[in-house]
Amino acid sequence: MFLKAYAAPAVALSPEGPGPMGCDPVIGPHGVYLKRGVWQAAGQLCPGFGMRGRMKGRHAIGGGGHPRSGPRHAPVPVASGPWGRRQALSRQALSGLREAVGTQSVFIFLYMVAMQLVGYSVGVILIAVQGLPAGGGISFERTVANLDGWRMAELYLLSTTVAFVFMILYRRRQIADPGPGGVFRRSSRPMTFPVLLTALLLVLAAQSLSKLYDFGLIRTVGRLGETVGEGGDMSLLWPTSAALPMLLYSCLWGPVVEETVFRGAVLGALKRYGRGFAIVTTSFLFALLHGNLSQSVFAFGLGLVLGFVGCEYSLIWPIGLHVASNLAAFYLPNLVRQSLAGYGLRGAALQTGAVCFWALIAVLGALVLVCWRHRLAAFLRADRSAPNIYASWGGFWFLLVSGVQAVLIVWRLVH
């Protein structure tokens, strides 16, 4: 890779913003580059640019990639104050960012409609037609009332497939985009075993927060009516005959679709406005999609981990981690109970032992964050989002979509 120089003066407003002490990047047709004259100064005064200042194409600062890559919205220009501190977004820039966030919110809303309304309706119709008795009529009420575990798994698989087809049609240009804003973007950075192991532990730590919430809900406000399995083992919620199709949905097809939509399409579209902002916004929408408070707590923590991995590495790794997370949710709680029962624990003692196990996982996750604090801090420093960037959540469509999902979560909690 070679340093690309331009005769034009440096542009101070860029997707990544200018560096401290005048080390301004230059915006070219395929990305952002440092001027040749400031390369040595950049190495000393702008360590955040470092080697990235020499990268070209989709690896350049700001991820310009292909000239047609990414969503149609331009990056939000953010002025930089002294020593590289980000200043607040202007009213015009904030309006553009709200429009971009609103576009992703509408996409998630339509995705949910395609899955929960269109997909479920098509599935119920097909199941009703399959069970049509000789000489009888179709009764959708009877079909829904008689759905067993196997039929429910089929319904979930079909509805998710309908939503996936919608995503392909709706985001076909982004899917075809090979740049950093594309859905199936690639990264030249290889995954390492320490990073993968750390991500797995953090995924389990996020799951432990959900389990601890479940235990606390059972002990304190369980009468509010939120359905919580005693240990959260999904394999106990359906008959044995339905375990295979539900496993296929929960631990394979579901993660593939969700990661393609959230870490692929939404994160890829918002990443140019700031990676930290894109990760948090995507995780928030991902959490609301799950529909109950326990799963939303877990999904938000999971989304933060998968979002970081999705920004640093290829999409295949968030998919793999999501699959591993759901496999753990499917089998690990029951395995913990059986192991504790082997030591003679029963009743309240068994539940206390399970709480201690998940609390230990949460502590290990916290220790991992402490050990990785320098890398995370460098990640956030390189991002340097504007201080008022989350004011973009005040757009109409984002508030509408998140408000509807929040109301559904509270309704399920109290009914």
Predicted confidence band of residue 21 (pLDDT cuts 50, 70, 90): very low
pTM: 0.76
Whether residue 239 has pLDDT greater than 50: no
Q: Say if CB 19 and CB 48 are below 8 A apart.
A: yes
Q: What is the overall mean pLDDT for the chain?
A: 77
Rounded to an integer, the average pLDDT of 275-290 is 95
Which of 57-71, 215-229, 346-360 has the least mean pLDDT?
57-71
How do the domains of the chain map onto residue ranges? 20-92, 93-383
Q: What percent of the chain is modeled with pLDDT above 90?
A: 45
For residue range 153-163, what is the model confidence (pLDDT) as tens digits? Answer: 889 999 999 99
CA distance 196 to 91: 41
217 or 182, which is more confident: 182
CA distance 188 to 329: 31
Three-class DSSP category at 31: strand
Listed residue (383, 397, 390) closest to 52, CA to CA: 383
Q: Say if CB 278 and CB 271 are below 8 A apart.
A: yes
For residue range 185-203, what is the model confidence (pLDDT) as tens digits? Answer: 888 889 999 999 999 999 9
Listed residue (373, 272, 256) closest to 306, CA to CA: 256
For residue range 22-37, what is the model confidence (pLDDT) as tens digits? Answer: 333 333 333 333 333 3
**If you write DSSP's letter for every residue of 41-102 in order, what string do you get?**
HHHHH-TTTGGGGG--GGGSBT---STT-S-SSPPPP--B-GGGPBPPPPHHHHHHHHHHHH
Rounded to an integer, the average pLDDT of 90-108 is 95
Q: pLDDT value at position 244?
A: 81
Whether residue 236 has pLDDT greater than 70: no
Buried b (16+ CB within 10 A) or exposed e, 108-139: bbbbbebbeeebbeebbeebbeeeeeeeeeee
For residue range 125-146, what is the model confidence (pLDDT) as tens digits? Answer: 888 887 665 445 666 777 777 7
Whether residue 230 has pLDDT greater than 60: no
CA distance 263 to 184: 10
Q: pLDDT value at position 20?
A: 36
Which whole-number Å values give the CA distances from 391 to 96, 97, 192, 267, in the listed order?
A: 12, 9, 36, 18
- Two structure tokens written together for 54: 């020499």
